[in-house]
A and B are shown apart, each in its own frame.
Chain A
């Protein structure tokens, strides 16, 4: 099972991490004014991991994860940096990974991750 790599500092993420919970509910309105809320999909957690000051080795590890899971296709384990809870099946949203290296030891990357629920 692929796993989101730890940085050399041992951290899973840096400041700027965004996390949230996404649900999908439809609200049906009836002619008599009544309404009914229907949950159409189970809720799932999502994160935006923003990484800065990475060296080329760390950037390569993140790139390797994206290639290993084939972008949005496969899943990997991700430990929520905020709660410490390990989520066994997560995937990358968007399928793209942009690595930007401004200078030596100054690599930057951003990944959107979403929990996958069967």
Chain B
């Protein structure tokens, strides 16, 4: 599937970024002030404005190539939201969005580093590494970063993986942020947090992003922030030559809101 290209820096956008969520509601109000409202998911959209500067020849060509292949506004493509956590249900590892490995028992209600009971404990009763995962239908060739805050009472380790890219991190009794960055190369892209055989780890704030290093944790109780039906909002894309070999442009993208 066509997708908006990742920049060579490993990011999906540059500052400043603008994202507008427009959720449509049909409502009526009686003379007495009583209001009735119904949500229109189909009429709701998300828009991004991405001013891009200092693009290399290949970055500019990739964006221009997608624009031409999409025929401007005509065809849709996958857009990975630079604002969002790509994982869903991030405060509920026991939820249905997460696939549990063999022998894994997940319990919620654990206090995270912010003092809120939004962390989970992940007990692996099997004889091999096992954990929870989400497989996302996002572009496999892009670089992703997966992060989570982890700890374990008696010390131990935890493994974060993005497909074959994995990292084992030592854990202690204090919360620490663990992360791994890499390219999976296979579709769907699988993000996993695993504990060693017979060990229990506490996990808070799992997050996946299309970039090389983790940003601030963004809790996401809904679906992940990737949009397979995005389009360019304009039929014209103008590249500006800023310096030899460097280009700039402003890209506006719109997508139906995904529930």
Indicate the size class of the contact surface on chain A: 20 to 34
Inter-chain contact total with CB atoms closer than 8 Å: 96
- Shortest C-beta distance, A49 to chain B (Å), equals 16
Interface SS of chain A: helix, strand, loop or mixed? Answer: mixed
Q: Which residues of B contact A106 (CB under 8 A)?
A: 15
- Shortest C-beta distance, B65 to chain A (Å), equals 27
Cβ–Cβ contact A64 & B220, under 8 A: yes
- Shortest C-beta distance, B187 to chain A (Å), equals 26
Interface residue? A98 (CB, 8 A): yes
Q: Which residues of B contact A60 (CB under 8 A)?
A: 83-85, 218-220
Cβ–Cβ contact B21 & A66, under 8 A: yes
- Tell which of A12-20, A28-36, A70-78, A79-87 binds the partner: A70-78
Q: Which residues of A contact B17 (CB under 8 A)?
A: 100-101
Q: Which residues of B contact A72 (CB under 8 A)?
A: 23, 25, 27, 37
Q: How far is the CA of A70 from the CA of B26 in the complex (A)?
A: 11
Interface residue? A4 (CB, 8 A): no
Interface residue? B33 (CB, 8 A): yes
Cβ–Cβ contact A95 & B22, under 8 A: yes
- Shortest C-beta distance, A54 to chain B (Å), equals 10
Q: How far is the CA of A116 from the CA of B35 in the complex (A)?
A: 8
Q: Which residues of A contact B218 (CB under 8 A)?
A: 56-57, 59-60
Cβ–Cβ contact B23 & A95, under 8 A: yes
Interface residue? B167 (CB, 8 A): no
- Shortest C-beta distance, A52 to chain B (Å), equals 13
Q: Assuming the A-B contacts A100-B17, A103-B16, are A56 and B216 also in contact, with contact meaning beta carbons closer than 8 angstroms in the complex?
A: yes
Cβ–Cβ contact B215 & A71, under 8 A: no
Q: Which residues of B contact A100 (CB under 8 A)?
A: 16-19
- Shortest C-beta distance, A62 to chain B (Å), equals 10
Looking across the interface, which residue of chain B has its beta carbon closest to that of A43?
A: B33
Interface residues of B in 9-48 (CB under 8 A from A): 15-25, 27, 31-35, 37-39, 44
Cβ–Cβ contact A101 & B39, under 8 A: no
Q: Assuming the A-B contacts A41-B33, A117-B33, are A71 and B216 also in contact, with contact meaning beta carbons closer than 8 angstroms in the complex?
A: no
Q: Which residues of A contact B44 (CB under 8 A)?
A: 71
Ranked nearest first, the 9 interchain pairs of A and B with the lowest CB-CB distance are: A71-B23, A60-B218, A72-B25, A70-B39, A73-B39, A57-B216, A41-B33, A56-B216, A98-B20
